[in-house]
Protein backbone atom coordinates (compact mmCIF):
# COMPACT_ATOMS: atom_id res chain seq x y z
CA UNK A 1 0.00 0.00 0.00
CA UNK A 2 1.26 3.46 -0.89
CA UNK A 3 1.84 6.03 1.86
CA UNK A 4 0.05 8.62 -0.28
CA UNK A 5 -3.15 6.53 -0.28
CA UNK A 6 -3.48 6.68 3.51
CA UNK A 7 -3.44 10.46 3.87
CA UNK A 8 -7.11 11.06 2.90
CA UNK A 9 -8.26 8.66 5.64
CA UNK A 10 -6.20 10.55 8.20
CA UNK A 11 -7.56 13.90 7.05
CA UNK A 12 -11.10 12.52 7.25
CA UNK A 13 -10.37 11.39 10.80
CA UNK A 14 -9.29 14.95 11.63
CA UNK A 15 -12.60 16.27 10.25
CA UNK A 16 -14.47 13.82 12.47
CA UNK A 17 -12.42 15.08 15.43
CA UNK A 18 -13.66 18.58 14.51
CA UNK A 19 -10.27 20.06 13.62
CA UNK A 20 -10.50 23.41 11.88
CA UNK A 21 -10.35 23.51 8.07
CA UNK A 22 -7.17 25.63 8.25
CA UNK A 23 -5.49 23.07 10.52
CA UNK A 24 -6.44 20.27 8.15
CA UNK A 25 -5.16 22.24 5.17
CA UNK A 26 -1.83 22.89 6.89
CA UNK A 27 -1.47 19.23 7.87
CA UNK A 28 -2.29 18.18 4.30
CA UNK A 29 0.46 20.48 3.03
CA UNK A 30 3.01 19.09 5.48
CA UNK A 31 2.11 15.49 4.65
CA UNK A 32 2.23 16.18 0.92
CA UNK A 33 5.69 17.72 1.36
CA UNK A 34 6.77 14.60 3.24
CA UNK A 35 5.35 12.25 0.61
CA UNK A 36 6.97 14.17 -2.25
CA UNK A 37 10.33 14.06 -0.48
CA UNK A 38 10.03 10.35 0.34
CA UNK A 39 8.97 9.53 -3.22
CA UNK A 40 12.03 11.41 -4.47
CA UNK A 41 14.10 9.18 -2.16
CA UNK A 42 12.38 6.06 -3.53
CA UNK A 43 10.22 5.47 -0.45
CA UNK A 44 6.64 5.01 -1.61
CA UNK A 45 5.32 1.89 0.11
CA UNK A 46 4.04 1.76 3.67
CA UNK A 47 6.46 -1.07 4.48
CA UNK A 48 9.32 1.35 3.74
CA UNK A 49 7.91 3.99 6.10
CA UNK A 50 10.08 3.73 9.21
CA UNK A 51 12.20 5.80 11.60
CA UNK A 52 14.99 6.10 9.04
CA UNK A 53 12.55 7.58 6.51
CA UNK A 54 11.31 10.07 9.10
CA UNK A 55 14.87 11.05 9.97
CA UNK A 56 15.62 11.63 6.28
CA UNK A 57 12.64 13.95 6.05
CA UNK A 58 13.63 15.73 9.23
CA UNK A 59 17.14 16.26 7.91
CA UNK A 60 15.72 17.60 4.66
CA UNK A 61 13.64 20.12 6.61
CA UNK A 62 16.76 21.33 8.40
CA UNK A 63 18.35 22.30 5.08
CA UNK A 64 15.26 23.21 3.05
CA UNK A 65 15.12 26.79 1.83
CA UNK A 66 12.16 29.09 1.37
CA UNK A 67 11.40 30.88 -1.89
CA UNK A 68 13.52 33.76 -0.58
CA UNK A 69 16.51 31.49 -0.05
CA UNK A 70 16.32 31.39 3.75
CA UNK A 71 16.09 28.35 6.00
CA UNK A 72 12.66 27.30 7.20
CA UNK A 73 11.92 28.79 10.59
CA UNK A 74 12.06 26.53 13.62
CA UNK A 75 8.32 26.88 14.13
CA UNK A 76 7.64 25.82 10.53
CA UNK A 77 9.87 22.77 10.90
CA UNK A 78 8.12 21.90 14.15
CA UNK A 79 4.69 22.18 12.50
CA UNK A 80 5.79 19.82 9.73
CA UNK A 81 7.18 17.33 12.24
CA UNK A 82 4.08 17.52 14.45
CA UNK A 83 1.91 16.80 11.41
CA UNK A 84 4.05 13.81 10.47
CA UNK A 85 4.04 12.48 14.05
CA UNK A 86 0.24 12.77 14.13
CA UNK A 87 0.02 10.82 10.88
CA UNK A 88 2.37 8.16 12.28
CA UNK A 89 0.20 7.88 15.43
CA UNK A 90 -2.87 7.43 13.22
CA UNK A 91 -1.16 4.70 11.20
CA UNK A 92 -0.20 2.89 14.41
CA UNK A 93 -3.66 3.27 15.97
CA UNK A 94 -5.31 1.88 12.84
CA UNK A 95 -2.86 -1.05 12.67
CA UNK A 96 -1.19 0.04 9.45
CA UNK A 97 2.10 0.21 11.36
CA UNK A 98 3.32 -2.26 13.98
CA UNK A 99 5.52 0.31 15.76
CA UNK A 100 4.56 3.77 16.94
CA UNK A 101 6.99 5.97 15.00
CA UNK A 102 5.66 9.09 16.72
CA UNK A 103 7.33 8.03 19.97
CA UNK A 104 10.84 8.41 18.58
CA UNK A 105 12.78 10.52 21.08
CA UNK A 106 15.45 11.24 18.49
CA UNK A 107 13.01 13.34 16.45
CA UNK A 108 12.33 15.68 19.37
CA UNK A 109 16.00 15.80 20.37
CA UNK A 110 17.13 16.55 16.83
CA UNK A 111 14.56 19.32 16.47
CA UNK A 112 15.85 20.85 19.70
CA UNK A 113 19.45 20.53 18.53
CA UNK A 114 18.65 22.23 15.24
CA UNK A 115 17.50 25.34 17.09
CA UNK A 116 20.42 25.65 19.52
CA UNK A 117 23.18 26.41 17.04
CA UNK A 118 21.06 28.35 14.58
CA UNK A 119 21.12 32.08 15.47
CA UNK A 120 19.01 32.87 12.40
CA UNK A 121 16.21 30.66 13.68
CA UNK A 122 15.36 32.89 16.64
Whether 111 has a pLDDT exceeding 60, the answer reads no
Distance CA 52, CA 33 (A): 17
Dihedral, 66, 82, 39, 32 alpha carbons, nearest 10 = -70
Rounded alpha-carbon distances, angstroms, from residue 36 to 93, 112, 117: 24, 25, 28
Cα four-point dihedral sign 83, 5, 38, 107 = positive
Whether 117 has a pLDDT exceeding 60, the answer reads no
Domain ranges of the chain: 3-121
Whether 105 has a pLDDT exceeding 60, the answer reads no
pLDDT value at position 122? 45
Q: φ, ψ for residue 103 (rounded to 5)? A: -95, 20
Q: What pLDDT digit, counting tens, does each position of 40-94 carry?
A: 999 999 999 999 999 999 999 999 999 999 999 999 999 999 999 999 999 999 9
The predicted model scores a pTM of 0.81
Nearest CA to 3 out of 29, 28, 38 is that of 38
The CATH class, in words, for 3-121 is mainly alpha
Amino acid sequence: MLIRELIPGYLEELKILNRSPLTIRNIRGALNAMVLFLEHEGITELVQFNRDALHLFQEDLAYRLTAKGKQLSVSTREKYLCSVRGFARYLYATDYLTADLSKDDHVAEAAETLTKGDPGAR
